[in-house]
A and B are shown apart, each in its own frame.
Chain A
């Protein structure tokens, strides 16, 4: 059945050399698509301004506010994979749900193709937006109804979002997108039940459903984290393929920075509801400026390298984002923290071209190494 290698070999990936596998991200110059999108309003497919989402917690006696996402400004260009990386509790999934219109922002605004999302109201408008920006979920075992064949979900999507298609056309379209994501023979896979598919195949069905809506941007929330290691790469390659051949953009939400490096053009590192650092993936990872990015990188297990020293003193305790006081949220864990970090929340500053970090200590030229 749909094996990733056959997919890679058979996919008409541009630049597919004799290896049969196009370099997913490295081969493309991310500058081309990232440059305009970094200037708000010009060319960005989707951008946010001061996006904030708080949750009320506690009871009547102790009202407290959890700052899940605070003042996020990000942009996603056309034909671009942007990775949103961070640990659990960093607010990355909340961002995805805000972008999917599953949550309303507490404050701030999201602009899709220049239009504010708060103006997207009414069933037809919302439906169109959901078709433009569909979501692929983390758990391929929980996101399908087990009593229906996989064709059920995709047919419903097509009926709902593309009512102009006839039954025959719907079927052809379903087969087309299944073939695109490597589920072949499509006609046969469509008639299977979810339990007859492996985890990797189910995640492909998720992407096929998204693709059937002719999306501009796919929100993929940890799409490979529940899959076996040997299957993951196939899905990552598929995402790169969809960007290159279908022209969609993807927001790839992950806690795995190595897979972000493999597939993403640009990287956004989140910490405790804030953006800690952002820029072209290779640039950020080769010259991490924020101490948190440095910590993350030093903790990634790499069997090819000797064990990095220094980071094990950090326990990886999650940050406190309940009624936070001003100041850098990483300051409790940061060996470089200065007085200012306890007083003032550091703004995101562009230190190098397109490469920004929210840190009082980070400098563009000097190596400020906290970890690794």
Chain B
């Protein structure tokens, strides 16, 4: 069925493979603007086990990138973490100094950005940028640097001659691959990826996803993968978090969310993709627009677009309810609460 090793068991309980790498607890991020504050991420909590692949999906403006940046401590004013903690390898990242963070970055935690063209330095060769990252962490031996650079580049399937190449000489796919290679330099425990494939064509996208998964199986790092394209991660991630309007709408095992989505928003998202196979059926998408986070409605944030909206949804915000191991923020599932994670 699947050529990808370690493909998660469909719908099965998620058993942490190793100790917890990351704990995010009640994390909130606000953009403090002159005309008021925008609550971009509202009390998000989750744990990430070693070697786990977590996908975060949502539409633009749902807070998924802000959440990533908050975890990686890359937020800049006017964004500010207003509550919660991010515990990475037992250490709270919130409030660390730049120097303390520099010791962690690349070594224990790497970030792969959406646009490698912008993330790579255009006037430095790929090799020079690898060297920079390694020197910053005390690897100064030229031979060591050259060996490791060639090794990681080969890992992602690029000929090491390209260490001498400049970013503009590489194709979009190769640039993303070299970003991923750079993230592998120190074999980190966690790699954070912000839409790394969205600038690529469908064939290159697929090839890169398979490669990321293979590297993960081999090296055992955990991944947080943010994307707006839910179908992309369906075969790769262990757990899936659907975000809407700054909050977690649904969070559970990937296969289970795809097979039996609980939140009306997840249902709508899944039905918004035309299929390439099977009968052609008319689709409707989700009516309306995503919420404006500067003026959050008092009730459920999805209520104005929800096909199953009830009177109560307009006034009272739903909590996250646990239904068969899946967390869902919808009153429809309030009575079904069961089990513990």
On whether the beta carbons of B210 and A312 are closer than 8 Å, the reply is yes
Q: Is the CB of B275 within 8 A of A87?
A: no
B202 touches A255 (CB 8 A): yes
Which of B109-117, B142-150, B281-289 participates in binding chain A?
B281-289
B230, A303: Cβ atoms closer than 8 Å? yes
Mostly, the B contact residues are: loop
Number of B residues, CB within 8 Å of A: 53
The reply to whether the CB of A62 lies closer than 8 angstroms to some CB of chain B is: no
Interface residues of B in 1-52 (CB under 8 A from A): 1-4, 7
Pair B3/A309 contact, Cβ less than 8 Å: yes
Answer yes or no: A261 CB below 8 A from chain B CBs. yes
> Which residues of B have CB within 8 Å of A317?
171, 173-174, 204
- Contact partner of A262 (CB less than 8 A), chosen from B200, B211, B283, B305, is B283
Q: Which residues of B contact A314 (CB under 8 A)?
A: 203, 207
B273 touching A258, Cβ below 8 Å: yes
B205: Cβ under 8 A from any A Cβ: yes
CA–CA, A285 and B282, complex, Å: 18
Q: Which residues 297-337 of A sit at the B interface, judged by CB distance below 8 A?
A: 297, 299-307, 309, 311-318
Q: Is the CB of A232 within 8 A of B258?
A: no
Most chain-B Cβ atoms within 10 A of its Cβ — which of A309, A316, A317?
A316
CA distance A257 to B275 in the complex (A): 9
Do residues B282 and A228 form an inter-chain contact, with CB atoms below 8 A? Answer: no
Chain A residues closer than 8 Å to B1, beta-carbon distance: 306-307
A258 touches B229 (CB 8 A): no
The distance from the CB of A348 to the nearest CB of chain B, in whole angstroms, is: 22
* Least CB separation from A281: chain B residue: B280
Chain A neighbourhood of B232, CB < 8 A? 301
Asked if B299 is an interface residue, CB under 8 A from chain A, the answer is no
Map CB proximity to A onto B205-224 as digits: 1 under 8 Å, 0 otherwise. 11100110000000000000
Decide: A303 and B272 in contact? CB cutoff 8 A: no
Instruction: State whether the Cβ of A140 lies closer than 8 Å to any Cβ in chain B.
Output: no
A24-B282, A232-B285, A257-B276 known; A315+B269 contact, CB < 8 A: no
Please tell me if the beta carbons of A261 and B234 are within 8 angstroms of each other in the complex.
Answer: no
Least distance between A30 CB and chain B CB atoms (Å): 12
Contact A232 B272 (CB under 8 A): yes
A108 CA to B229 CA, complexed, in Å? 39
Give the distance in Å from the alpha carbon of A88 to the alpha carbon of B198 in the complex.
Answer: 12
CB of A316 within 8 A of CB of B203, answer yes
A303 to B269, CA, bound (A): 12
A316 pairs with B204, CB closer than 8 A? yes
Among the interface residues A234, A255, A312, which one has the most CB atoms of the partner chain B within 10 A? A312
Would A303 and B284 be within 8 Å (CB), given that A228-B60, A316-B205 are in contact?
no
Task: Give the most central of B202, B205, B232: most A CB within 10 Å.
Answer: B202
Which residues from chain A contact B231 at a C-beta distance below 8 Å? 301-303
Interface: B290 (CB within 8 A): yes
Report the Cα distance A309→B210, complex, angstroms. Answer: 10
Report if A366 contacts B (CB, 8 A).
Answer: no
B228 within 8 A of A: yes
Asked whether B228 lies within 8 Å of A228 as measured between CB atoms, the reply is yes
Residue in A closest to B204 when the chains form the complex, CB atoms: A316
Measured between beta carbons, the chain A residues less than 8 angstroms from B281 are 23
- Among A6, A199, A231, A233, point to the contact of B283 (Cβ < 8 A): A233
**Interface flag for B278 (CB, 8 Å):** yes
| Cβ distance A356 to chain B, nearest Cβ, rounded Å | 21
Q: Are A315 and B272 in contact (CB under 8 A)?
A: no
User: Whole-angstrom distance between the alpha carbons of A315 and B59 in the complex?
Assistant: 28
Any chain A CB within 8 A of the CB of B95?
no
Q: Nearest CB to that of B4 among chain A residues?
A: A307
CB pair A316–B269 under 8 Å, yes or no, is no
B205 / chain A contacts, CB cutoff of 8 Å = 299, 301, 316
B273 and A297 contacting across the interface, CB-CB below 8 Å: no
What 1/0 mask marks residues of chain A from 71 to 102 whose CB sits below 8 Å from any chain B CB? 00000000000000001100000000000000
Closest to B59 in A: A228
CA distance A6 to B305 in the complex (A): 11
Q: Which one of A3, A88, A256 has the greatest number of beta carbons of chain B within 10 Å? A: A3
> Chain A residues with Cβ under 8 A from B283's Cβ?
21, 233, 237, 262
Q: State whether B280 touches A228 (Cβ < 8 A).
A: no
Q: Which residues of B contact A199 (CB under 8 A)?
A: 60
- Which of A24, A87, A198, A262 contacts B203, CB < 8 Å? A87
Contacts of A313 in B (CB 8 A): 207
B277: interface (CB < 8 Å)? yes
Closest residue of chain A to B288, judged by CB? A3
* Nearest chain A residue, comparing its CB with the CB of B232: A301
* Interface residue B270 (Cβ < 8 Å from any Cβ of A): yes
B residues at A contact (CB < 8 Å) = 1-4, 7, 59-60, 157, 171-174, 200-207, 210-211, 228-232, 234-235, 258, 268-270, 272-290, 305
**5 contacts across the A-B interface (CB closer than 8 A):** A87-B203, A230-B268, A299-B202, A311-B206, A316-B202
